[in-house]
Structure 1
Amino acid sequence: MTRSQTDIEIAIDWLVRLQGDAVTESDWREFDAWLTASPANADAYDAALAFDQRLDLDARMAERQAAPDKPLATVVPLRRPSRRTWIWSAGGAIAATLVAGAILLNGADLFGGRETTYATGVGERKIVSLEDGTRIELNAASRLSVRFERNVRRVRLDDAQAFFDVAKDPRRPFLIEAGDTQVRVVGTQFDVRRRDGLVAVGVQRGLVEVRAGAPDAAPLRLKPGQGVAHREGQAEDTRVAPVAADEVAGWRQGRLIYRDQPLSQIVGDLNRLFQRPVKLADARTANLRLSGVLIVDDQDAMVDRLSHLLPVRTTKTKDAIVIRAR
């Protein structure tokens, strides 16, 4: 994709604005609207980020050469190099024009980072704190991988459900891949679920961009109290829908909330919470649908509640609980 000088100058202006001490929530919303208005905007911003980060690398190498007898870790400053600060702040439009030209002429180096995998077992939940300040709460029987690169923070969900509280970083957008769905944010709170071929995203705070299906699909922009859900490979008709706040955070507070969901999905959730398997007798039973709330406590009590909410009966065998339609 071709980047224009003007696009990059605007991207640099956003980079400076969002790193300032006076940045407001309104600024973040305006930035998100600009970023998602055109693929060229995102491309220009990524290029500006990469150039900005290259200045970091140049400054570190210069300090390393000035003190070759010291380990690199001891000479890397925790603050931004003053030379880079001068480039962004001094000279205003002239500096932005010069930097934009340098980006267009030279491109930007992208350096990958180490990938880390986090997982939980059956009945286990875990809170992960990432190096950028982001917190991820993993639901039971979940697995995801995190990779921080120079200009982007990446997460890949396998079979998982996770709640994200993403630290704001205008220099590195936060991207999540969940099957055929990509989620892009800068800083916000939201839930992503990828289970048994179904992908769902619900937003609690901030703005979230979701692309369902092909990477070049039109993005859906979600506000607090909105969500999307679809089956992988069938994203063409995905629509934004209202999602209650208690639904986004329900599993974190010990509640499983369902809206016209098949019993097969509910049993799948139970089997991620408890070691003793719950089985469905047949397809008819699996296709029964439930709208309601299940409190997460004892397995027997939860299964018993199902028999009051649905026309089913349960049978306990030596190694399982079997649910059958009445």
Structure 2
Amino acid sequence: MMRPQSEILQGEALERLMHATSGHATVADLRDLEAWRTRSAAHADAYRRALGIWESLGTAAREAKTATDHVMIAGQVRAGGRPVGRRAFLIGGAAAAAATVAAGFVLQPPLGLWPSLPDLMADYRTGAGENRAVALAEGLSIEMNTRTSIVRRPSDDGEERIELLAGEAAIAAAQNASKSLTAIAADGRVFAARAQANLRNDAGAVHVTCLSGSVQVECGGRTATLRAGEQLAYSPQLVSPVAVVDPAMITAWKRGLLIFRDEPLAQVLDEVNRYWRGRIVLLNTDLGHRRVTVRIELARIEEVVSYVRSVLGAKVRTLPGGVVILT
């Protein structure tokens, strides 16, 4: 029995959305997705229903960046900005109108599902589950974790400067480095000379962990000096007190591991989703509150689903594009 065309298109829409969220998508890929979405009314409807799946699963509330995302799901406007009506096509031409929509589609991803244009244009970028080592200068290096975007900024002769747009990276300034390293993350700056630190930027919520030596952090009008094993967290609303942490836990990703000790399952899966090519959606609130201690090998990350099913008794349903629903 042949599948209905609407079901085929919805499956394709989900797969395209998942590719867009994988971290591998380029600007050309996103424009291709927009071209696919506007191919016909059936394609637009399939795309809208695919976004609706995210909304109905409760993920859109967590991912949505603007009210436009919610309006778009309701089918009231086109993705990516202001509506494009018949008058726009008649006066400005279909090509110009389509270009306006496509530009907004890339600049303002619906539901925040894929990297923004600045992230896509970063000097260094990793996709889901990838890491990358970059040598900036003699004795200066960065190691990038999953879904990370970094740009190089203009700097003085005695300094290298980078900006962590999103994601996580370990920075290192060796003893023989001829320059110091400044890392910008959201509203703060980290200064490293003969030191190592781990930086993580989650939509402006930043955690800075000193791994060796000492680093200076400037944020929120204050300066703090961190020594090995100390962490400072800051966001536009708050600068937290310096805390003592386990550097081995923070940098387990460098060894291909995720380690959780007595953490709620929902929090574990949120972290796993950073590495997952697709999305794991947990719909069972009680299950999400269960506390677990687990060690996950990133090379075998798919085994986390088997663990939740066999050990915690979750029901598992898979959808196209790497979507896994746990109930």
TM-score, normalised with respect to structure 1: 0.54
1:318 aligned residue:
319
Aligned to 1:143, which of 127, 141, 149? 149
Deviation, structure 1 residue 157: 0.9
Unaligned runs of 5+ in 1: 1-114
Report the counterpart of residue 200 of structure 2 in structure 1: 193
Cα RMSD (Å): 3.0
Question: What CA distance in whole angstroms lies between the structure 1 residues aligned with 2:315 and 2:204?
Answer: 27
* Preserved contact between residue 309 and residue 316 of structure 2 (Cα < 8 Å): no
Q: Determine the structure 2 residue equivalent to 1:225.
A: 229
Q: Per-residue CA shift, 1:277-312, capped at 9, x if unaligned?
A: 211226666666655533323233122334577x56
The 1:240–1:258 alpha-carbon spacing in structure 2 relative to 1, beyond 3 Å, is: farther
Cα distance in structure 1, aligned partners of 2:289 and 2:150? 29
3-state SS of paired residue (1:202): strand
Instruction: Name the structure, 1 or 2, with higher relative contact order (CA <8 Å, separation 6+).
Output: 2
Q: 1:135 to 1:314 in 2, by over 3 A?
A: farther
Query: Cα–Cα, structure 1 residues 264 and 195, in superposed 2: closer, same or farther, change >3 Å?
Result: farther
1:218-254 C-alpha deviation (Å, 9 max, x unpaired): x222111222234x22324x12222223113201112
Question: Which deviations, in whole Å up to 9, do the C-alpha atoms of 1:26-56 show, x marking residues without a partner?
Answer: xxxxxxxxxxxxxxxxxxxxxxxxxxxxxxx
Amino acid at match of 1:241: A
- Counterpart selection for 2:283 from 281, 292, 297: 281
Match of 1:270 among 272, 277, 285: 272
Q: Deviations over 1:246-283 (max 9, x none)?
A: 11320111221346655555334323323242112266
| Cα distance, 1:197 vs structure 2 | 4.3
| Percent identity of equivalent pairs | 24
For structure 2, which runs of at least 5 residues remain unmatched after alignment? Answer: 1-120
Helix, strand or coil at the partner of 2:236: coil
**Residue of 126, 145, 160 corresponding to 2:167:** 160
Cα gap change, 1:287 to 1:277, in 2 (>3 Å): same
User: Per the alignment, do residues 253 and 263 of structure 1 end up closer, same or farther by CA in structure 2, a change over 3 Å counting?
Assistant: same
Q: 1:197 to 1:284 in 2, by over 3 A?
A: farther
Relative to the length of structure 2, the TM-score reads 0.54
- How many residue pairs get aligned? The number is 204
Q: Give the residue type in structure 2 aligned to 1:133.
A: G
From the superposition, tell whether residues 283 and 164 of structure 1 become closer, same or farther in structure 2 (CA, over 3 Å): same
- In terms of Rg, which structure is larger? 1
What is the match of residue 140 of structure 2? 134
Distance 1:148 1:179 in 2: 17
